Chains A and B, each alone.
Chain A
Amino acid sequence: MSDVQDIRSIIEEQIETLRRRNKEPEWVTKMRYRGLKAFLTAPHNDPVLSNPLEFVVGHKEKFPEVKTLEDLPPEMRALLDRLGIAEVEKKYVAGLAVQSDTNIVLNEFLKSWGARGLEVLSMEDAVKKYPALKDKFMSLFSPEESKLAAYHTAIWNGGVFLRVKKGLKIPMPLHLFFLIQNSAMAQAPHIMILAEEGSEIHLIEGCTSPILVRHSLHLDMSEIFVGDGAKVKLSVIQNWPEYVHTRPMTRAKIGKNAEFINTTVGLGTGKSNIASPKYWVDEGGYVELNGIILGQKNYHVDLGGEMLLRGRGSRGLNATKSVIMDRATVITRGLIRAQAPSTRGHISCDALLMGPDARMETYPGLISEVDDAELSHEAAIGKIREEELFYLMSRGLREEEATQLIVKGFLDPMLKDIPMEFVVEIKKIIEMAVGGGM
């Protein structure tokens, strides 16, 4: 397992399997081999995962093939039901795309919006359909920057390509769930969003499904291109089992006067390092990175995010709120670089420490390369305030009830962009976590 030659041949075999299965264009396979080469030499700088090699070999597990929502495994259906998605789906025909290996399960909503210019393809289909993606694919990342980026490049599988046509505004959020089946590899979906000029879309990724998948490494990569004047919201809800290592990699280019709001809700985050996000913001553009983290047990969450304010008047906000329990550790490392005049950036980091062994570290970085940028940061790390607890308890609420209320309240302002049915579910999970034996 430790032998480099072995690693090389294992990855090579994985690449060849994907190449044959997908019948992919040559440039894709070439890119995969570039990833393999980089994997052997690229630096490994992950603060949590000491040996990336042990994740290279996946486990073989089979799931029944999924063509419609009815074919989903019972656990997944139960989950969707719990989230109220199935109901919403029936009632409002809101969008729900389930990614299952290389097939996208489309529903009526997506089909009807498809006619108006919303294109949703599996990533595998997209690279075949659009040769021009050669210039976009892996343009915001480089396989050589780290072993994990390299490994993703080599074996990416699954994922979604989403294109919103110029000026098209989609009023309701589109839900996307990942379900990887028949896969012998690490879960490594590649997601690309092209929001053309003036378009609007809100995408919700529910990364709750991998309870089905026993892989312990989840390596998804998202490349997002927000066209001039476009607005994109990406809300990612993670609820992983503890043994999963997640390394979501998200980067976005934000055009002139465009807006990108990226919210991550990490309820079950296990061992994750979300340290690589990067956002390039053009003139008048705005980026917001919101992190909501529930740290439990021995979770270790390392949350980064670099914003490059390179256009005049561009703005960035990086805000996290963490609730940390047990022996969990949460680290935030937001970085904002002001590279153009009249730019503004703010980093805020709030944490509620729920026990003596809970740990929070924050390292805000503000770098100004111009003289009229406004950059600021604030951090508030502490316990639940005695006065608030007393106020609520004096009205007859038990300590657990009052604590739950305060914790939910602490997170509430950050949940503004999350649809109600998710907020309800998120709050339920938080209640269970902080309420103990209620």
Chain B
Amino acid sequence: MNELLTIENLHVAVNGNKEIISGLNLRIGESEFHVVMGPNGSGKSTLALTLMGHPRYRITHGRILFMGEEIASLTPNERGRRGIFMAFQQPKVVDGVRIKDYLTLLLTKVKGMDPLKTGKIIRKTLREVWFSEDILGRYINEGFSGGEKKRFEILQALLLKPKLLILDEPDSGVDIDSLSLISSKLRKMHGEGIAVLLITHYGRILQHVDPRILHVHILREGRIVMSGQEELVERIEQEGFRKIFEECGCNE
């Protein structure tokens, strides 16, 4: 299996010197499915944002390789163009920017698509994630419900077809039906060869995904303290992090 993403001994600081990621190692092979779980504040979103190149998170140590190349010095858009996509835990409102204009721009500028062909693809994909065409005239995430925001992130991933799809809690605030929809879209995208790095607190988002393929990691204070397979998800749901950390001696 070719390696897609390699994170070696990563240290990340924010606001001056506060270290949030402390010596994290992770390898994701092409079209693998990885799940990262961990208590609130353990650094999951920080990891995702750092991979995407958020200017506020500073890499103080270590390397990130994507398809064999160091990406730490690349801008977020260069990373995006190389095939990394991150669905935000809290998608941002961009006031005044109409979704139709935005999605058209993404397809033409980022994917190099013929402007005449974008409309059809956008409308088809909208329906796939249960949006009506009314949404095209609205502003990005403005007035969206929590669940709508998450479906809009999935919509963009479906349109952009990345190589690595990072999802930061795509299931939080989402109703049962939408959860099932998002889960099946994950299966679909993964089935098309997209590698997935899924951050979540609950196993339910994995309902449509083949459990045998899962690589599960537990993050604690900015470091992966345990890795395993699908049964780790169940264990977390049953026992909670405290107990697991006590048993493994991870608290030391």
List the A side residues contacting B33 at CB < 8 Å: none
B247 interfacial by beta-carbon distance below 8 Å: no
- By DSSP majority rule, is chain B's interface helix, strand, loop, or mixed? mixed
Look across to chain B and name the residue whose beta carbon is closest to the beta carbon of A415.
Answer: B96
- Which of B58-66, B102-110, B182-190 lies at the interface with chain A? B102-110
Interface residue tally on B, bucketed by range: 20 to 34
Q: With contacts defined as CB atoms under 8 Å apart, how many contacts are there between chain A and chain B in the complex? A: 81
- Interface code B44-70, partner A: CB below 8 Å = 1, 0 otherwise? 000000001111100000000000000
- By DSSP majority rule, is chain A's interface helix, strand, loop, or mixed? helix
Residue contact B77 to A393, C-beta cutoff 8 Å:
yes
Shortest distance in angstroms between B248's beta carbon and chain A's nearest beta carbon? Answer: 34
List the A side residues contacting B95 at CB < 8 Å: 409-410
A50 interfacial by beta-carbon distance below 8 Å: no
B98 interfacial by beta-carbon distance below 8 Å: yes
- A412 with B97: in contact, given A386-B56, A394-B53 (CB under 8 Å)? yes
Bound complex: CA A398 to CA B80 (Å): 10
Look across to chain A and name the residue whose beta carbon is closest to the beta carbon of B159.
Answer: A395
Look across to chain B and name the residue whose beta carbon is closest to the beta carbon of A401.
Answer: B109
Residue contact B109 to A396, C-beta cutoff 8 Å:
yes
Residue contact B105 to A390, C-beta cutoff 8 Å:
no
Bound complex: CA A179 to CA B106 (Å): 41
A126 interfacial by beta-carbon distance below 8 Å: no
- A396 with B77: in contact, given A390-B55, A405-B105 (CB under 8 Å)? yes
Identify which of B79, B81, B91, B94 contacts A405 (C-beta below 8 A).
Answer: B94
List the B side residues contacting A388 at CB < 8 Å: 92-94
A408 interfacial by beta-carbon distance below 8 Å: yes
Residue contact A394 to B101, C-beta cutoff 8 Å:
no
Residue contact B88 to A395, C-beta cutoff 8 Å:
no
List the B side residues contacting A387 at CB < 8 Å: 92
- A411 with B96: in contact, given A395-B106, A395-B110, A397-B110 (CB under 8 Å)? yes
Q: Which residues of B from 114 to 172 have beta carbons under 8 Å from A?
A: 139-140, 156, 160
Identify which of B53, B88, B98, B109 contacts A397 (C-beta below 8 A).
Answer: B109
Residue contact B80 to A405, C-beta cutoff 8 Å:
no
Look across to chain A and name the residue whose beta carbon is closest to the beta carbon of B92.
Answer: A391
Identify which of A393, A394, A408 contacts B97 (C-beta below 8 A).
Answer: A408
Identify which of A398, A408, A410 contacts B77 (C-beta below 8 A).
Answer: A398
- A394 with B106: in contact, given A405-B94, A413-B96 (CB under 8 Å)? no
Bound complex: CA A401 to CA B81 (Å): 14
Bound complex: CA A413 to CA B54 (Å): 29
Residue contact B156 to A409, C-beta cutoff 8 Å:
no
Residue contact A394 to B96, C-beta cutoff 8 Å:
no
B86 interfacial by beta-carbon distance below 8 Å: yes
List the B side residues contacting A399 at CB < 8 Å: 75, 77
Bound complex: CA A397 to CA B77 (Å): 6
Residue contact A397 to B105, C-beta cutoff 8 Å:
yes
List the A side residues contacting B98 at CB < 8 Å: 409, 412
B76 interfacial by beta-carbon distance below 8 Å: yes
Beyond the given pairs A406-B96, A409-B96, A409-B98, 18 more chain A to chain B contacts, judged by CB atoms under 8 angstroms and listed by A's residue number, are A387-B92, A391-B88, A391-B91, A392-B94, A394-B85, A395-B106, A395-B160, A396-B80, A396-B81, A396-B106, A397-B80, A397-B105, A397-B106, A397-B109, A397-B110, A409-B94, A411-B96, A412-B97
Q: Pick 23 A–B contacts, CB within 8 A, sort by A.
A: A390-B52, A391-B140, A394-B52, A394-B77, A394-B79, A395-B85, A395-B110, A395-B160, A396-B109, A396-B110, A397-B77, A397-B80, A397-B105, A398-B77, A399-B75, A405-B97, A405-B105, A406-B94, A406-B96, A406-B97, A408-B96, A412-B98, A412-B139
